Amino acid sequence: MSVNIIAAWPIAIVGVSDRRLTGFVSGKMHTNRSTKMTVFGCADAHGVVVYNGIGMDDQGLTPGDWLMELAEQKVFDSDIQQVLESVRTDLEGRLQKLREVYGPKKARHTFTFALWRNGQTEIHNLTNYESFDGGENLAEGSDRVKLIPSFPTPQAKVGILVTGTMPPIADVKAIRQVIAAKPVNYVLARCIKVVRDVAYRRGNARGAVGSAAQWAVVGPQREDIHCGLDVVGGRVAQEPPNMINVHAQSPVAGTWSVGFGSTGAGMLIKDAYAYAVAEDGSRIDIARYDPDKKRAVFSEPKCGVCGSPWPASHRFCEVCLHDQHHVRGKKRRRNGK
C-alpha cells in the first residue's frame, strides 16, 4: 500500500507519493526506492500519474512499467480520453490475471491522473475498489475498472485527493489552508509532511508506507514541470519520476538544477538520476548500466544496523531514522513535553 497526495487548484497541480514497495504476497519490505509517479504529456493534456494497490506483479513489473509499455505503443500520443480508456482496458486485463492466481483481495489497484487540459485542472481515477464518494472501499477488487472523473467548479476550485493509506482529516484540511494562504512551494512542503507523518504515525518503521517522497509540481504550461525526491536526512543524488513526452526540471544542489527530457512525442525516461560533481571531481554514482538487462541497476544495499534496504541516493537509512524519531517521541511524551 502507498500514500499519494494530489492537490490541484488554478495555479498548480502538486503530486507527492511515498517510495516503499512491499512484496505482493508476503507484504514484507522489498525496496525503498520504487518510482510510483509518472509525469506525462499527451495530445491535449499534461500532468502527473500516481498509483496504489499493486506494487509489483508476478512478472516483476511495477504499474509504472505498465504505463511505460503503453507509452512504447504510442498510447500517450493520443488525446487524454483515449489514454484513459487504453490504461483502463490494460489494467482490467492485468488485474484479471492476478485475480485468477491470488484472488480478488489481492487484485486491487488505482491509477490517479491529475492533469491540465484547456487551462483547467482535472482529476481522473481508474480503480476497481476505491469509492471516491465517501463510501466504503471494496475489500475485494471488482473484475471491472471504473473511470471516475473530477472537474473543478466555480464553488470548488481546489481539489485534494488522497489515495492508499489515509492520513487524518485534519492533515488534509491543513493542505487546503496552505493553498489559500501560501505560495506553491509551501503547499508542496505540506503535502510531503503529510506523507511522512503517515509513515511515522503508525510507529512501524517497516510498514507499507515509507518516509521518502517523490514529488512533482505541474503548471498550466507543458514546459512548467518541476519534480524531485525528498528524503529524511538528505539525499546525495536526485531521482525524478518517470517521464512521458515532457521536459522537467529537478533541483540537484543549492541553486543548481538539471533538465530531463523534451516535449516531443515518443520521449520516454525511466529510472533517471542526477548528482552534483564536487570541486575535486568526485561524485557518487548510485546506479550502473547493466547491458544484459538493458537498464540501469540502482544500488540499494542492506543497512548494517537494521538490515533494511538503503537506497544509495539517501544519506541515511530511513528505517533507522524512523526508529530514532519514534524513541525521541516516546521520551518527550514521558517527560510531558
Question: Is 228 within the bounds of a domain?
Answer: yes
Tell me how many domains the chain contains: 1
How are beta strands 247-253 and 21-22 bridged, if at all? unpaired
pLDDT(277) > 80: no
Residue 33 Cα to chain centre, angstroms: 10
Expressed as residue numbers, the domain containing 72 is 3-284
How are beta strands 242-244 and 37-41 bridged, if at all? parallel
> What pLDDT score was predicted for residue 215?
98
CATH number at residue 76: 3.60.20.10
Question: Is 310 within the bounds of a domain?
Answer: no
Question: Is 321 within the bounds of a domain?
Answer: no
> What pLDDT score was predicted for residue 254?
78
Angle at 217 between CA 311 and CA 154, to 5 degrees: 145
> What pLDDT score was predicted for residue 295?
78
DSSP per position, 298-317: E--PBPTTT--B--TTBSS-
Question: Is 269 within the bounds of a domain?
Answer: yes
Question: Is 126 within the bounds of a domain?
Answer: yes
Stretch 176-201: mean pLDDT, rounded? Answer: 95
Question: Is 45 within the bounds of a domain?
Answer: yes
Q: How far apart are CA 171 and CA 267, in angstroms?
A: 37
Question: Is 259 within the bounds of a domain?
Answer: yes
Structure pTM?
A: 0.91
Question: Is 293 within the bounds of a domain?
Answer: no
Stretch 260-275: mean pLDDT, rounded? Answer: 86
Cα dist. 221→12, 41, 91, 265 in Å?
A: 10, 11, 29, 16
> What pLDDT score was predicted for residue 216?
98
Question: Which three three-digit cell numbers place residue 108?
Answer: 486491487
Q: Would you call 143 helix, strand, or coil by DSSP?
A: coil
pLDDT(29) > 90: no
Q: How far apart are CA 138 and CA 191, in angstroms?
A: 26
Question: Which three three-digit cell numbers place residue 170?
Answer: 485534519
DSSP per position, 182-242: S-HHHHHHHHHHHHHHHHHHT--TTSS--S-EEEEEE-SSTT-EEEEEE-TT-BSSB-PPE
Neighbours of 189 (CB within 10 A): 15
